[in-house]
Structures are given as structure tokens and as C-alpha cells.
A and B are shown apart, each in its own frame.
Chain A
């Protein structure tokens, strides 16, 4: 099958068509920015973009993505919104353990690309699929608001 990951095209064969994209990214391509946490699409740690839209890579078989364009946190530099979010993630000191943050950032980038100036409620609704056990939610909220402001000016 063929897949584009962070702008680079790959052709490969899968021995197990059921293998989720998450494990192809992590165990094979060594793109470890995308994280395993629940395996059932409940926590968002494995969030990537497929053709610009968020997908839970832990429950998406790689074989279902023939010809698609995958973007992971490692491809952030090519996405203006994602880079802007990363800057504010650092400025506002969002991460604690950091494990869920790749997923948080991928979800936040998709949110802002669809809705460049979300209300607080829209951010909360848009980000509710991403869990954080350390409890960085209030800073995530602040960093997304700030990024929306930065990008609109």
C-alpha cells in the first residue's frame, strides 16, 4: 500500500491488515511522537491528521488509508497553525508529563483550522476528546485562545 507521512511518500506491505496506523507509525517508522494510551479511541493521545482531519490512529487500520496523507506531530513545522500552537504551548508552560500533548496539539490545530476564532465553549467542546491526567486543561484553553488571537492579528 501507499501512504504519505509528513510529506514523504512510502510504499510498503502489511503482514496484518488489521494493524492500526498507531503501531505502524511507532514500531515501524519510529515516529514516537504519536502516543498509545487507551487503544479504543477514548483519550486522544494517538491523534493524527488524515488529509487534514483528526483521526484516532489507535483504532484506524493502516490498510484503510490507502493513498492518504498522514500528518503527525513530527510534521508540525509544515503547518503554520501547529507551529503557532507549539510556541504558545511553551510560552504558557502547558505540558506537565507531556505524554498527551502531541494529541492535544493535533486536535487543537484541527480545531483552529476549521474555526479560526473559537469561543471558549467551542474550544472546550472541540477538545473534549483529549484526556490529560496531569490536569493541564486550563492552560490548554489559554494557549488555544492566545494562538487564535496571534493568528488573527
Chain B
């Protein structure tokens, strides 16, 4: 393979600079020789006193690495400002797959909180024991703080780094006591942390910034229809682009053709000396596709298919017969169906990964939510043992569920396998919108049996999220029947990914809109109606595998709703131009209630303010928790007011930010967030505030116009 220099640089003036694309720039920094002690998978202490936190969870901007580092600093007695954070490579041997490593379902803090504290408490006790030996003082007189073990009897103190030689010879204590909340120095404080500092300087080490010696750059033109295949292609014009090295076909394996776990499409890869050359050449490819069976279908076919499925499948799981009987015998019913479109994650950092297939081993550098699963998949894909696959995880420029799936890493490996060089695979923005994996389209059918007073007696639900093992938690204490999960008989028109809040989004759009419709039928205030039901509801068991968390406590949800009612002056109507709607959501043992304020402006109705109250147990870092709620509200408003992915003849119709629109700063309402005081186990805050946004706004729209809108997105200005 012939590589070409496309660029020469020399500095003007006195300094001399010579840069070539092929000079290795990622040389190791010069660090002083230090010995270290790594008593467990979360921590390394160097003899020069550097404490490194090894974060097993992915950092996507949700602040988990900051929160976990704070937990570690508190449990250890370390100086948070001096802790270095590293990201763990993919390893289910160390972390298990789903429990401690792969990041999804707002599980980062929830899953790691307990094992991290236990491991670090053991570390602390060993350090104290080592100090006791070194200083000749009793253990009971020693404590840790700011990176030292201190004696409470005299002024003696010894740095952690000076204890590691002794510490590394000591056995771990069998029992340790975790710190009491009143001993926390960092937990509970709004700390910006290292990522915020680095992001403000533009120096966060995303995988898109990785540069390795001899690295080449690749892009792929993918089949525009899922399930299609490549017939032939012409690359003569593309090969003329300066910097292009090679062009070849990408053929997914059977493993990669699964619409959920896989997602790699047939395509043509362009490899070049720089990103621009690869992108330019990609546009010059002439490809003939066999678009396959999905090219006969569009979004409307998915809708119609789900409707037909519903009409022919109404069975009810056995333990919901009670609700079904009430529904069957009721003379008065209320029905409503809710519809939400496909969506794209559209992370600001387009998908990308660097891979180096050496022939006998593979190393990848990527921002992935699933370093363990990625390693497992690459092992399966290449036939190499997992021990020969190294996944270096990088902070990502957004993930929102999309980076849980590793098709983009697998593609980089496929290309590097062919060229046997380090390859940076870049997705263009168009790739991330047109040929990606998507939040699925959904249709949800709700019905209720209504008594003579207009009050609901039982509910029935059939939709995308019901099914034997995937009941969404219903908090309101009424009998509910879950019917057979809807499915689209033609298979998946476009491949699926997770999208912030996942199935809770359509579930909540239906549930929280329908609760308002029921309140209206009962002639009750919709917020008061919810409070009354929650006040009488019992605890709902929640179980998933793996599951770290608690059952659903309706009284906690009720408390968030009461608080948001206060904040938003819900019960103090003074302003004729203000229209309010509410929602209350439980999501993986977090709770979030919301009020949307609508007003009328020169361009029609608009959202003027959003209020939210979250209960996520103990809030490790209130600044990050509030940021997640603020961001979730903007995510929810984008889905409600701006964007959707639509499919025509198997092809996604949107392509970039000019037609897949995101909410902009001038469209963003005022947002006010409160966190419930709690010392309960921390749960999650990345997603719980997404699902309630659409119903809260739609319920306010009903207040303003008397119209029920049950399909999103919508143009609020047209009302």
C-alpha cells in the first residue's frame, strides 16, 4: 500500500516546527518511575502519592465518573482535587458484564455505589493498619483525610504513597465499616470536577481525537435500506481523490445482521490518509444496491401493522385477569391510543472508533457504553480469545443509549483486519441520521373501565412495552391488564438502539396523558387526582436481571408531585394566560414529577417554563443531577416539538441537522429543578426526567385548547 504525503508544514519565525501526518504524536508522557499498589479494580495508589480512580462505568457527559470519584474520595479519605480518573478497559472478568461496567438504564451510580464503597473501605482499613505498623500507634487512634493517615493523638501523619510497601503485604480485613453520611466531605456537594474543567478547555480525550502512529482514516458508505445488499460499485472517481489509499467492500457476518445486537450494514469502505479525503471520496462512489424486502415499506406500514396485530392479539397474561374482568363487565369505558415516531440519538460526537487488528490480537479505542460487550462481540467476530481483545474506553461526546451498541467499533475492526494498520473509522453526520440504529416507532393502546362517578376502576394496556417480562411499573394502585406485546410482523424496518429513557418514553406518553384524560372524566384536578390515587396505592415489586434497586414506592412519587405543585403554584391559579400540565414518572427506582407552563406568544403557544422534582435517593453531586434533569427536559422537548425519523421505501428521510432538528437555545424555556432530600441508596438521574416531558406539555395543551394531542411530534405554534 502506498501512502502519500498530502501536507508539508514549516513554521515561520524563530520556532521550528515540522509536522508530518505519519509522525507518531501520541508518545507516552514522561512520568517519574513510581511503584504502585492496586488492591482492587477501582484504585491504584502510587508511591508518589498519586491516587488513581479506575472508573468502570462509561462517561458520556452524565457525570458518573465525577460522582463515583467523589464516592471513592470520601470512602478513602483522599483529596478529590488530586485524584486522577482513568477509564477501565472492557473486562467482564473484573467487573461482570452488566453489573459494574456496561452503562445503561441510568445505572452508573446505582450499580457501583455499594461494591465501590466496600472495596475502598477495605483499602482504607489496610492503609490505616499499615500506618499503625509504621508509626507504632494503635489502629483506633488513626484516621484518613486528604490523602494521609493521621493520628488523632499527636501531629503525626503519613501519606498514602509512603504506606503502599507495607500495605501491599497485609491481608484484607474480613469486615469493614462504611463511613456514615455525616463524615462525607464531597458527597452531596455540587462539584464541577475534571471533565468540566477539561471540556472548558477543549481537551477531553474523546476517541475522535485519538491519533496513533501510521493510523489511517476510514469512512463507509452503507446500504441505505436495512436488510439490503451490495450488487456492485465503481470507485474510479473516488480513487482520484488525493490521499485515498484503498477502497473495498464491507460484508457483515451473520452475527452482525441481528437488528438489535448487531447493526453492521453492507457497504463500501474508503481508507485515506486523512478524514477529509475519505469523506470526499465516499461521495464519489457509485454503488448499485439490492435494496431488499424492506424497500417496500414505510413508516405508515409499521403503524398499520401494529394496528392489525392489536386487532388479532388480545390475550392477557394470567395474573391480570382481575382487571380484565372489570373491563369486560364495565358498561362505560374510555379508550385512547398514543403514537410516537422513530428517533435518532444524534450524539454531538459522531460515532467513531480506532481499531488495530494485529492478526493475532485486536486493540480498540472508542467511547463505548458497553466495553465488556464490545470485547465479547469482537472476540466472536474475529475468532480471537477475549484475552486477545483490548477495549480502551474513552469519554464520549454523548451516548444516550446509542453507544451501548458496538456496530461502529466492529466496523473499525473489519477495516483494520483488512489493512492491518490502526484505522480511525469516522461516521459522517449523515451516517448517524440516515443509516444508524434507532429508537423504535411505537403505538400504545389504553383503556379504562369507568364507574358511575366517572372514576376509573381498572385499566387495560396493550403496546410496545408490555410483555411477560417487561411490564412498566404502574404506580397508581388500580388493577391493570397487560395484553400481548405488539409486534410488527414484517420484522424490523430499521435496526433498533436504545435512546435516552428507552421504552419508558412511549409508556409514559400514554400513561401520563391517559391519567389526565381519566381525571377529566372524573371531573378532578389532574394533579390532585394523581395525588389521591398515589396516596392509596401499594408498593409495587420491581425486578430485573441484574437488578440493584428497590421496589416502586408510590409515596415517594407522591412527594415529588406535591413538591412540584408547590414550586409551580399549581393550586394558586392567578394568571389567565398561563396553562399548566403535569406528569409523574417512576423510572428504575428514581421518581420525577414535572409541571409544564404554556403561554401564548406572537407565534402561537410555547413552553415558557418547566418545573421538575427528582427523587434519586442520595444525590451524590447535586449539580450533575440537576444538569441531567435539565438536559432530559431539553431532550424530551426536542422529541416532542422538533424531530422525528420517518421512513419511506425503507430509507430514512432525514439526513443531518438541517432536517433532523434539535431544540436550540432560543427555543429553550426557563427550567427549575429541585432534588428531594434523601439519604436512601442513590439511584439514577440520567433518564427519569425524559418520559414526563411530552405528557406534561400535552396536558397543558389540553388546558389551553381543550384538544387532546396523542401523536408526537407536534407544532405547538400552530395551536
Complex Cα gap A140–B631 (Å)? 12
Give complex CA distance A78, B62 in Å.
Answer: 31
C-alpha spacing A86/B666, complex, angstroms = 22
| B15–A8 CB distance below 8 A | yes
Contacting A37 at CB < 8 Å: which of B60, B348, B634, B666? B348
Q: How far is B192's CA from A139's CA once the two chains are assembled, in angstroms?
A: 13
> Which residues of the other chain, B, contact A105 by a CB distance below 8 angstroms?
200, 202
Q: Which residues in B have their C-beta under 8 angstroms from that of A147?
A: none
Residues of the A chain whose Cβ atoms lie less than 8 Å from the Cβ of B426: 36
Query: Which listed residue, B398, B430, B671, touches A133 by the CB 8 Å rule?
Result: B398
Report if B276 contacts A (CB, 8 A). Answer: yes
B6, B347, B397, B632: the one contacting A135 at CB < 8 Å is B632
Chain A residue, CB-CB nearest to B348: A99
Among B195, B243, B664, B670, point to the contact of A138 (Cβ < 8 A).
B670
- Complex interface: chain A residues within 8 A of B623 (CB): 93
> Is A39 located at the chain interface by the 8 A CB criterion?
yes
| Cβ distance A34 to chain B, nearest Cβ, rounded Å | 7
- Tell me, yes or no, whether A53 is within 8 Å of chain B by CB: no
In the complex, whether A42 has a CB less than 8 A from a CB of chain B is yes
In contact, A13 and B7 (Cβ under 8 angstroms): yes
Q: For the complex, is B137 an interface residue (Cβ under 8 Å from A)?
A: no
A28 and B7 in contact, given A93-B190, A137-B634 (Cβ under 8 angstroms) = yes
**Is the CB–CB distance between A133 and B400 below 8 Å?**
yes
Interface string of A8-25 (1 = CB under 8 A from B): 111111111011100110
Residues of B within 8 A of A80 (CB): none
Task: Name the contact of B200 in the complex, choosing from A16, A24, A95, A133 (C-beta under 8 A).
Answer: A95
Chain B residues whose C-beta falls within 8 Å of the C-beta of A102 in the assembled complex: 202
User: What is the minimal beta-carbon distance from A148 to any residue of chain B, in angstroms?
Assistant: 16
- Considering the complex, give the chain A residue whose CB is closest to the CB of B215: A27
Can you list, as one digit per residue, whether each of B656-695 has a CB less than 8 Å from chain A (1) or not (0)? 1110001111101011000000000000000000000000
Interface residues of B in 174-218 (CB under 8 A from A): 190, 192, 195-204, 206, 208-209, 211, 217
Are B13 and A8 within 8 A (Cβ)?
yes
Q: A133-B346, A133-B347 are in contact. List 10 more A-B contacts (CB 8 A).
A: A8-B11, A9-B13, A11-B10, A15-B7, A33-B203, A39-B279, A91-B192, A94-B196, A133-B635, A135-B631
Q: Which 5 A-B pairs have the closest CB atoms?
A: A98-B199, A97-B61, A33-B202, A99-B397, A135-B634
What are 30 residue pairs bridging A and B, where the CB atoms are less than 8 Å apart in the complex? A2-B12, A12-B10, A16-B242, A16-B277, A28-B19, A30-B19, A35-B349, A37-B350, A73-B201, A76-B202, A93-B192, A93-B624, A96-B631, A97-B199, A97-B347, A97-B395, A97-B397, A99-B206, A99-B347, A102-B202, A124-B665, A131-B348, A132-B348, A133-B635, A134-B348, A134-B398, A135-B635, A137-B663, A137-B664, A141-B668
